[in-house]
């Protein structure tokens, strides 16, 4: 059996997303941006963020291999779906649900930079700073969180829990006693 404990409430998320959108709007004032979401975890964050960004914006999505059914990751990143539109010469805001080791973001950033965007910034809702093994960070960070496995607001465990409105820690009964 899984147990869920609310870590970040929907109200806290909404307030933070508003702040992040205002910062992005100010930083890219007068310029068009592409909100590039990493499927599937970033979809809900992107949907909320996008509606508060007051810029000429378009959407695109990429997909990379992730945890699958385990909470541990293999260390290998694979591109499963590429961008639909060229990123060359564009202001790209990569929208990620969570930064953990940084392996995924490092892979994606290198891939995108090879195609020469005008600018590349990263917006991550959550950041497990203590888990980082790669020298990479986000330009816009919602919340720094402890090393706990979280679900909700787009984040999953084996494809479940993405629809929870709050970010919750997933605890198994065996771990908590």
- Binding residues for Mg ion, per CB under 5 A? 41
Q: Which is nearer to Mg ion, 75 or 177 (CB)?
A: 75
Q: Which is nearer to ligand IMP, 27 or 63 (CB)?
A: 63
Q: Decide: 177 and 170 in contact? Cβ < 8 Å.
A: no
List strand residue ranges (DSSP E) for the chain, in order: 2-8, 33-39, 57-64, 79-81, 91-99, 119-127, 140-144, 150-151, 167-172
Which residues, numbered 50-69, are part of the site for ligand IMP (CB under 6 A)?
A: 66-67
Residue of the chain from 12, 25, 101, 137 that contacts ligand IMP (CB under 6 A): 101
User: How many angstroms separate the Cα of 62 from the Cα of each of 15, 67, 77, 112, 128?
Assistant: 27, 16, 13, 11, 22
Query: Binds 127, which of Mg ion, ligand IMP, none (CB < 5 to 8 A, cut-off by type)?
Result: none
User: Does 154 contact ligand IMP by CB under 6 A?
Assistant: no
Q: What is the DSSP letter of 118?
A: S
By CB under 6 A, the count of residues binding ligand IMP is 18
Single out the catalytic residue among 27, 48, 84, 100: 100
Nearest to 81 by CA among 67, 64, 106: 64
CA atoms within 13 A on the CB side of 57: 22
Let me know if 2 is a catalytic residue: no
Min dist CB 165 to Mg ion, Å, is 18
User: By the criterion CB under 6 A, which residues form the site for ligand IMP?
Assistant: 41, 66-67, 73, 96-105, 149-151, 155
Residues with a catalytic annotation lie at 100
């Amino acid at each position: 059996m899984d147990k869920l404990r609310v870590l970040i409430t929907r109200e806290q998320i909404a307030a933070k997303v508003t702040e992040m959108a205002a910062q992005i709007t100010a930083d890219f004032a007068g310029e068009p941006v592409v909100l590039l979401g990493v499927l599937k975890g970033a979809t809900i964050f992107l949907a909320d963020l996008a509606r508060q960004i007051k810029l000429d914006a378009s959407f695109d999505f990429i997909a990379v291999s992730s945890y699958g059914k385990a909470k541990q990751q293999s260390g290998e990143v694979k591109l499963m779906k590429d961008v639909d539109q060229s990123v060359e010469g564009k202001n790209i805001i990569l929208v990620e649900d969570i930064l953990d080791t940084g392996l995924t973001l490092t892979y994606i950033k290198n891939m995108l930079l090879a195609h020469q965007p005008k600018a590349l910034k990263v917006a991550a809702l959550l950041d497990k700073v203590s888990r980082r093994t790669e020298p990479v960070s986000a330009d816009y960070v919602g919340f720094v969180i402890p090393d706990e496995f979280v679900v909700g607001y787009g984040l999953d465990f084996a494809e479940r829990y993405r629809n929870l409105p709050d970010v919750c820690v997933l605890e198994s009964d065996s771990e908590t006693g």
